[in-house]
Structure 1
Amino acid sequence: MSLIELVRGADGVAELVLNRPEKLNAFNTEMLDAFSDAVDDLTGDDSVRCVLLRGEGRAFSVGYDVQRAGSTGSGTGEPRPAHPSAYTDWSRLKRNLDRWLAVWDLDKPVVAAVHGHCIGGATMLCVCADLTIVAEDASIAWPSVPLGGGLLSPVSLWLTGMKRARELSYIAGSAMSGSEAADLGWANRAVPAADVLADARATARQIARMPASLLRLKKLALNRVMEAQGFRTAFQFGAEWDAIAHTTPEHEVMAAQIRDHGLKDAIAWFQDGGSIDVTPTATAATDRYL
């Protein structure tokens, strides 16, 4: 079974399907590489004038696969060394952000159809899509445990506004419904869950009636304005903030919980009041002199 399905239609619409339903379409390395290959395959293909991005099964995607012991949550799904260099971590994070920016840069509009859960890194993918149609009861959520720095919220800030972005960032497990996401501007509109795919398909077909050359220019024109306002720079900064966050002792405490007990139990431990605060020791003796 292919983890990414790419189906071209005669109507000028191609469906790019996240196809790991048994894991709620969590991104592992194989899936991410297949996703990038599919985007590359679509680039320059004028027979496809619009792409519909959706998830198979019960969810759009629960984001990066952090189930494996020792995973950083950076999207590789691979165990990381006990003490990786910040540069290596940044490079790995940047590689995955570049995958989402490839959607932003794709020479044709992308319509995301979101149902069920859309968590963590999957929210960044939706931000890079041109349009997002979301189920009213969908959950647009941030990770349930503190594992990173300023990766998600500075990107969503462009759509939700500063105050809501701060709240989503500061409280682990924060979420907004599909209806709220549409009200804030994170999504174009929210519809009943049963209608999400039909609505997204109809929208994609309408877009595909436009000539490919004009769609390309229209997308470039809109992207350039956003980039002049700093969108791309803010997006790429996320890799730096997360790489720094991954060097903190508090991150190691949380990563150890996941490594030793699994993600589900680590979430329960944190939600039940488990603390990842690390008592300062090295600086304690000097604090009184400051």
Structure 2
Amino acid sequence: MTYETLLAEFDAGITTVTLNRPEKMNAMSPTLLAELKDVLSSAAEDDQVAVVVLRSTGKVFCAGYDLSPDDWIISQFPAEFEGGVDLQKDREDIVQLLKYWLGMRKFPKPIVAAVQGPALSGAGELLAMCDIVIASEEARFGHPAGRDLGIPPTVFLWPLLIGMRKTKELLYTAKLIDAAEAGKLGLVNEVVAGEELEARVRSMAEDIARTPVNHLKILKEAADNWYDNMGLETSSRQAADLDAVFHQSPTFNAFFKLVGEKGMKAALDERRRLFG
């Protein structure tokens, strides 16, 4: 099929999905998420597909959620609400977004991500739903939006992936880490030179595809059950509620008040002045 925001192709048991919004740094919009869900739904039902490779065009893997009003990820664009967004509606929207990610986590086959550049804020939720992440040396990871725009309902699965102390450090400071540190922490499986990324990811996908598809499904479910039994979904739902509370804060409202008055660039410039 032809998509507006993605490229999708199938070869030798591997479906390759490419985020294709380089002019927007592959920021996630409602259309992109809907198209990604469509591709994965097809791949889940196709017995010929053993593994999905997720990659992107351009120098940025994904800048997170799209901040423009036309592509705002949920129903209320905060700059349009002088007194702040409606808390109950916001919570309902965030819960629906969480259901999207938890649904992607239940995709029954392995997903291998190729990260060639920065993967920021909401992009961390996308990567958290992947099974294996291979990054180039140019990749960067972090949640800069944590200073003023909110928390991810899944918390990127960081408490499980990298431990509680490092999770808190990255959330509290909103700093970015490079690929080497991400590798040491276990946030990514492997770090390679940029020119080697595509070949290494393809090699990994081909190796995985040698395992029978029905066995891959069982192996993935067996591993994921550990997180489910630890209460991953319950913790995520609690974080969704806290994100809605975050969106009532003066700092959040001040950011979007400036967006309404002077535009997104001015608001981002002010954020950099305040937080670096």
Specify the code of the residue in structure 2 equivalent to 1:159.
L
Stretches of structure 1 that go unaligned for 5 or more consecutive residues are 275-290
TM-score normalised by length of structure 1: 0.85
Alignment correspondent of 2:172? 170
Corresponding residue for 2:16?
A: 15
Deviation of 1:152 after TM superposition, in Å, equals: 5.8
User: Sequence identity of aligned pairs in percent?
Assistant: 28
> Counterparts of 1:242-281 in structure 2 under 5 Å?
242-273=243-274
**1: CA distance, partners of 2:250 / 2:200:** 46
Give the letter for the 1:2 counterpart: E
One-letter identity of the residue aligned with 2:263: G
Check whether the contact 1:51–1:110 (CA below 8 A) recurs between aligned residues.
Answer: yes
Deviations 1:249-287 (A, max 9, x none): 33111221233333333232133238xxxxxxxxxxxxx
> Greater CA deviation, 261-270 or 246-255?
261-270
Bigger Rg, which one = 1
What is the match of residue 125 of structure 1?
126
Q: In the aligned structure 2, how far is the partner of 1:39 from the partner of 1:154?
A: 20
The alpha-carbon deviation at position 79 of structure 1 amounts to 2.6
Distance 1:150 1:215, change over 3 A: closer
Deviations 1:42-68 (A, max 9, x none): 222111000001111111111101133
Q: How big is the shift at 1:154? A: 6.3
Q: CA 1:134–1:272 in structure 2 vs 1: closer, same or farther (change >3 Å)?
A: same
Q: Which runs of 4+ in 1 moved over 4 A?
A: none
- Do 1:123 and 1:152's aligned partners in 2 also have CA atoms closer than 8 Å? no
Distance 1:122 1:150 in 2: 10
Structure 2 residue 238 is matched with structure 1 residue 237: yes
- Inter-CA distance 170–263: structure 2 relative to 1 (3 Å threshold): farther
In structure 1, how many angstroms separate the alpha carbons of the residues matched to 2:164 and 2:256? 29
Q: Residues 228 and 220 of structure 1: is their aligned pair in 2 closer, same or farther, counting only changes over 3 Å?
A: same
In 2: Cα distance, 1:105 partner to 1:232 partner: 12
Whole-Å separation in 2 of the counterparts to 1:260 and 1:152: 32
Cα distance change on mapping 1:44 and 1:116 into 2, 3 Å = same
* CA distance in structure 1 between the aligned counterparts of 2:158 and 2:258, rounded to whole angstroms: 28
What is the match of residue 24 of structure 1? 25
Q: Structure 2: which amino acid aligns with 1:169?
A: L
1:113/1:197 contact within 8 Å kept:
yes
Q: Distance in 1 between matches of 2:156 and 2:197?
A: 27
Partner of 1:190: 191
Matches within 5 A, 1:205-220: 205-220=206-221
Normalising by structure 2, we get a TM-score of 0.89
Determine the structure 1 residue equivalent to 2:99: 98
Structure 1 residue 30: Cα displacement:
1.4
Any idea what SS the aligned residue of 1:214 has? helix
Higher share of residues assigned helix: 2
Question: Equivalent residue of 1:43, what SS?
Answer: helix
Q: Aligned partners of 2:65 and 2:132: how far apart in 1?
A: 22
CA contact (8 A) 2:136 2:192 kept: yes
Matched residue, 2:225: 224
In the aligned structure 1, how far is the partner of 2:156 from the partner of 2:112? 22
SS of 1:272's equivalent? helix
- Given the superposition, is the C-alpha separation of residues 77 and 190 from structure 1 closer, same or farther in structure 2, using an over 3 Å criterion? farther
Measure the CA separation in 2 of the matches of 1:197 and 1:59: 15
Match of 1:140 in 2: 141
2:207 & 2:28 partners in 1: Cα distance? 30
Tell me, in whole angstroms, the C-alpha distance in 1 between the residues paired with 2:156 and 2:28: 21
Residues 138-186 of structure 1, C-alpha deviations (whole Å, 9 max, x = no match): 11121255111464646212112111111111123x1111111111001
Q: 1:237 to 1:39 in 2, by over 3 A?
A: farther
Root-mean-square deviation (CA), in Å? 2.2
User: Counterpart of 1:65?
Assistant: 66
